[in-house]
Amino acid sequence: MPGALGKSAARADVYRVTCPSGTRKLDAFVRDDAPVNQPLLNVQIQAARPAGSFSSGMSTDKVRDGDTLYSTTVARLARNTGVYTITVSKSAPIGACNSNDDDEHDDENCNSSAVGAEKYSLKYACRDINNNILRLSVPTTQPQNQ
């Protein structure tokens, strides 16, 4: 699904996807589309289950900006069949933070490097216990768009 994060540094898009019966894990892939901008794309998968809430942690796509390739798996969560939430956000490129000895200005460097609209495409794969793809698709439900 094509997406776009607004100019502010604190933007995130949230998607809901449903994996079919037999699913053992969900993989997410992101492509950083043109135009080339400084922010890096981050992806996180979350699942709410009767046993509690689970999260993949934040993963960053470090592949070249503006190319036509999807990343390798940037986020994976093994939590079976059901509804998952995928969040796409942006952050400053590696090296933009703590780039000087002046701690007072570190936050400014990080925030200004994450500013700028960023276009991307997102897809996901629901996989079974043998790593076979049960569903390879793009999210269709976007409850939060920034």
Give residue 139's pLDDT: 74
Report which of residues 121 and 59 the model is more confident about.
121
List b or e across 25-55, with b for residues whose CB sees 16 or more CB atoms inside 10 angstroms: bbbbbbbbbeeebbbbbbbbbbbeeeeeeee
Are 31 and 71 in contact by the 8 Å Cβ rule? The answer is yes
Q: How much is the pTM?
A: 0.75
pLDDT digits (tens, 9 = 90+) for 19-53: 999 999 899 888 888 777 777 788 888 887 655 66
Any residues with CB less than 8 A from the CB of 110 and at least 6 apart, and which?
91, 92, 96, 97
Is it the case that residue 60 has pLDDT exceeding 90?
no
Is it the case that residue 5 has pLDDT exceeding 90?
no
What does the longest C-alpha to C-alpha distance in the chain come to?
53
Confidence class for position 146, pLDDT limits 50, 70, 90: low
Distances (CA, A) of 111 to 87, 99, 102, 105: 19, 13, 15, 10
Task: Please compute the mean of the pLDDT values over residues 42-68 and round it to a whole number.
Answer: 70
Q: Which domains does the chain have, with CATH numbers?
A: 2-6+13-91+117-144 (2.60.120)
